[in-house]
Structure 1
Amino acid sequence: MQTHYLLGLDGGGTKTDALLCTADGEVKARCTAGPSSLTGQSEESAFLQIRTVLTGVLSPVGGLDAPIAGFYAGISGGGLEENRQKFRALFRRLLSGLEHWDCGSDSVNALSAGIGCEDGIIAIAGTGSSVFGRKQGAMRQVGGWGYLLGDEGSGFDLGRRALTAALRALDGRGEPTLLKDLCETHAACALRELVARIYQRNSKAEIASFAPVLLRAARQNDAAALAELEASAGEMAHAIRCARRFCGSANVVLGGSVWQDPSYRAAVERLLGQEYTLITPRFPPVYGSVTLAAALAGFSCGEAFRQRIEETIGRVN
């Protein structure tokens, strides 16, 4: 009897993760490589990482020419049509045995890792932020327009709020706050020196690194920090409510490191109310991509499938 293979790929700005399993969820191989996002590196570099990870994960079943019944690749930036077409062309060149397949945003992976193929919401709060609602396979983006035009409720947003509140306290526009001293301690320099450094480096990640400073001050009941946390959490809650208007579901899968802070999560949860269910995925995003691969190929991607993956993943890790 022919074995039907399913392949999932999750690509981001840090690493690329690929998982190969059978139609019933038995894991056959898993492989990781470097970043495959087209942001911050050349296409050549990103495509090399994708080729590397696919070569590795498919080596047990015959390599890149192996027959693949279902394949889904969710890659950071893959939701943009220009990028999506580039990735589609790459996969056509690399994988000659594809049957049913698609590619798109890595946000879809994270959502499917949490709730399978059901309708729902993915709320990402890492260095940046974005929210997506899914209804019968269609995705709608809310926010996620980058740090110059968006990223509300993200680590960048929290860090920027910490710095602006500290500067308002410094020049007298704002109330006294622990944030002034905490920001200076974190930066190992005076605020005025820090401002010059931030504009010189123009680093989104550096500003986001001040997010824990805001959260620390909020835990100490600093009034300015609590107000900024409430405002940032309010932006995230508003985006989630907007996504619900599209998809009709109140199930919210959480992605990104900011959700690991109890005070941030509690603030968003309180603002949303009890009708929303916040879900921390049991599985990493690559599990979501292989779940979508199963759906594309017409195989079951329910709890039995996911349980089988969980039982067999240890064989290849």
Structure 2
Amino acid sequence: MFLGVDGGGTKTAFALLTGDGRLLATALAPSSYYLGQSIDLVEDVLRSGIGAVCGHADVPPEQISHAFVALPGYGEVSSDVETLDAIPGRVLGHQRYGCDNDMVAAWAGSLGAVDGVNVIAGTGSMTYGEHDGRGLRVGGWGELFDDEGSAYWIAIRGLGAFAKMSDGRLPAGPLRERMATHLQLATDLDLVDVVVNRWRGDRARVAALAHVITAAAADGDDACARILREAGRALADLVTATVARLGYAPGDVVPVSWSGGVFTSEEVRAAFREHLLDTPVDLRDPLLPPVLGAALYAARLAGRPLSPEAVDGLQAYATTVLQGGSHE
């Protein structure tokens, strides 16, 4: 029996799988994003969620063959890694587990835990890939100077386009009315009050405005469509860099999938695919949500990976299983 834990910025998901791919139980707990808070938060969340999922399945944690705990922010403060690595052992009562960043769960879910690359485009952006036993992260340096193609990146450029439309530096398009209505602006310049003064530039609230840019593009806004196409190309560049660094042999075709809300945009997906036309990749729709990916990765760490047939069978749960939140 394998436990997958998918940490997120809004909630943390837990799933127990059997070795033949049956889903025994799921549970949800609060966010496990500890940066800016106490690292003790992680242990509290794991105790709550593991207790719940084991209670639902009526099995004690000691009977879990292997677990994989995917945590947001893991590895981004090197001095915290040893502390984070020790926490699941205290909760589970054994050492049969692994810990890593939540990008690994997203990769394992999207590709069914087989070698290849997953690009994540949510609030932030990054890729994670594995090949021949080696894992690699590219991107994800944060919104101040990276995260190209992410929801935050799209939103910032959309806000800039709104300002230029208001000034007459760009022709006014559907974005101007959509943004003003969405934010209930009395005047265009109230945008500064909302985003800077009230929100204080909050990353998640700004990133959520990407939906407004996507909707305006669908209404025919040329500036917003350009932003989305640029996002797709930027995300494709992350994939290209990852493939190059993973050491695939010439002629190898690399499985590539994606996760995150940015990919709901048709403009982004089309530009992403177009920019990868000359790259030897096999673009695949995501198979499973990250929490099931985490459980698959637990089985892989145990040396008992699920069969392709069992992985295919898990797709029956893909749209109903409880999921963690705010993947980056």
Q: Distance in 2 between matches of 1:315 and 1:173?
A: 46
Identity among equivalent pairs (%): 30
Q: Is the 8 A contact 2:110 2:259 kept in 1?
A: no
**Cα pair distance change 1:303/1:222, threshold 3 Å:** same
Q: How many residues align?
A: 311
Aligned match of 1:277: 282
Alignment RMSD, CA only? 2.6
Q: Structure 1 223/92 Cα, relative in aligned 2: closer, same or farther at 3 Å?
A: same
TM-score normalized with structure 2 length: 0.85
State the TM-score, normalizing by the size of structure 1.
0.88
Cα gap change, 1:282 to 1:116, in 2 (>3 Å): closer
1:1-317 equivalences in 2 (<5 Å): 5-39=1-35, 41-59=37-55, 60=57, 62-64=59-61, 66-80=62-76, 81-99=78-96, 101-189=97-185, 190-200=187-197, 201-247=200-246, 248=248, 250-273=254-277, 275-307=280-312, 309=314
**Structure 1 169/242 Cα, relative in aligned 2: closer, same or farther at 3 Å?**
same
1:111 to partner: Cα distance: 1.1
C-alpha separation in 2, matches of 1:13 and 1:204 = 12
CA shift for structure 1 position 191: 2.5
Query: C-alpha deviations, 1:214-250, integer Å up to 9, x for none?
Result: 2223223333222222222221111111111123353
Cα shift readout 1:269-312 (whole Å, capped 9, x = no counterpart): 12222743333323211111111111111113231332454568
Q: 1:173/1:234 Cα in 2 relative to 1: closer, same or farther (>3 Å)?
A: same
Q: Which stretch shows the higher mean deviation, 195-204 or 288-297?
A: 195-204
Higher relative contact order (CA 8 A, sep 6+): 2
When residues 31 and 204 of structure 1 are mapped into structure 2, their CA distance, relative to the original with a 3 A threshold, is same
Once residues 193 and 26 of structure 1 are traced to their aligned partners in structure 2, the CA distance between those partners, rounded to angstroms, is 53
**CA contact 2:236–2:275 (8 Å) conserved in 1:** yes
Which SS does the other structure have where 1:229 is aligned? helix
Query: Quick check: 1:35–1:49 contact (8 Å CA) kept in 2?
Result: yes
In 1, are the aligned partners of 2:33 and 2:73 still within 8 Å (CA)?
yes
Partners of 1:95 and 1:177 in 2: CA distance: 55
Contact 1:124 1:256 in 2 (8 A): yes
Query: Which segments of 5 or more consecutive residues in structure 2 lack a partner in the other structure?
Result: 323-328
2:112–2:287 contact (8 Å) kept in structure 1: no
2:257 touches 2:285 (CA, 8 Å); kept in 1? Answer: yes
Higher helix share: 1
Structure 1 residues 307 and 131: alpha-carbon distance in aligned structure 2, compared to 1, 3 A threshold: closer
CA displacement 1:169-209 (0-9 Å, x = unmatched):
33344344332332222211122111132122221222223
Q: Distance in 2 between matches of 1:102 and 1:62?
A: 20
Q: Is the CA contact 1:9–1:73 (under 8 Å) kept in the aligned structure 2? A: yes
Equivalent AA in structure 2 for residue 225 of structure 1:
C
Structure 2: distance between partners of 1:255 and 1:135 = 19
Q: State how far apart, in whole Å, the 1-side matches of 2:206 and 2:104 are.
A: 27
